[in-house]
């Protein structure tokens, strides 16, 4: 009888430890597609796209890192605490190529096109940083080629009323 109780105790401890350690320390990074997050709609030029909002520090820091796909008419809209700023972006842990569209006063002010994921061997300190040339209010990340395929150019209007 004691051996059965001991077996149940040991099994219970193992299950609890596996749950605690597995969820916080040993969880594998699984690439994700963008899709489970709540979406909003914005309009870039004539194109309506569904965006996931990155509106806090943690979401902005993570961005699209680790995502394995992005819908054709989807993107991530970065919303900052202040307007008219000069944030920097990088492609850390990115798995898909993107266009970065820099927006100020509801107009496109810069486009970094077809940015490719970095080689996995590049140290974090050597990743390319991307900056706006003018102050911006928002940043939109979309699939590489989106800008060219939808005639998005400098001065294209961005309707953010859906956020």
Has residue 3 got a pLDDT over 70?
no
Size of the chain, expressed as the number of residues it contains: 163
8 Å CB contact between 150 and 109 = no
Phi/psi of residue 68, each to 5°?
-95, -15
Mean pLDDT of the 90-97 span = 96
Model-wide pTM > 0.85: no
pLDDT at 35: 47
Provide DSSP, 10-29: HHHHHHHHHHHHHHHTS---
The answer to whether 138 and 77 are in contact (CB under 8 A) is yes
Compute how many other C-beta atoms are within 10 angstroms of the C-beta atom of residue 162.
14
User: Which is more confidently placed, 93 or 29?
Assistant: 93
Q: How many Cα atoms sit within 13 Å of 117 on the Cβ side?
A: 15
Q: Confirm if 109 and 156 have CB atoms less than 8 A apart.
A: no
Residue 77 has pLDDT above 80, yes or no: yes
Q: From 147, 136, 128, 10, select the one nearest 84 (Cα to Cα).
A: 136
Half-sphere exposure of 39 (CA within 13 A, CB side): 14
Give, as one character, the DSSP assignment of residue 134.
Answer: S
What is the rounded CA–CA span in Å between residue 90 and residue 87?
A: 10
3-class state of residue 59 by DSSP: helix
Q: Tokens 């979406």 label which residue? A: 39
**Which of 30-39, 45-54, 101-110 is predicted with the least confidence, judged by mean pLDDT?**
30-39
């Amino acid at each position: 009888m004691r051996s059965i109780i001991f077996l149940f105790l040991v099994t219970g401890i193992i299950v609890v430890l596996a749950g605690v350690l597995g969820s916080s320390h040993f969880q594998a990074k699984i690439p994700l597609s963008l899709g489970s997050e709540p979406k909003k709609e914005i309009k870039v030029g004539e194109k309506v796209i569904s965006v996931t909002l990155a509106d806090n520090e943690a979401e902005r820091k993570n961005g699209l890192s680790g995502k394995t796909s992005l819908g054709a008419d989807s993107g991530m809209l970065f919303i900052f605490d202040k307007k008219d700023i000069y944030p920097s972006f990088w492609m850390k842990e990115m798995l898909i190529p993107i266009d970065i569209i820099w927006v100020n006063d509801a107009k496109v002010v810069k486009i970094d096109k077809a940015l490719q994921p970095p080689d996995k061997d590049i140290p974090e300190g050597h990743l390319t940083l991307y900056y706006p040339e003018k102050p911006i209010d928002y940043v939109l990340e979309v699939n590489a080629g989106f800008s060219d395929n939808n005639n998005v150019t400098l001065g294209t209007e961005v309707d953010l009323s859906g956020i």
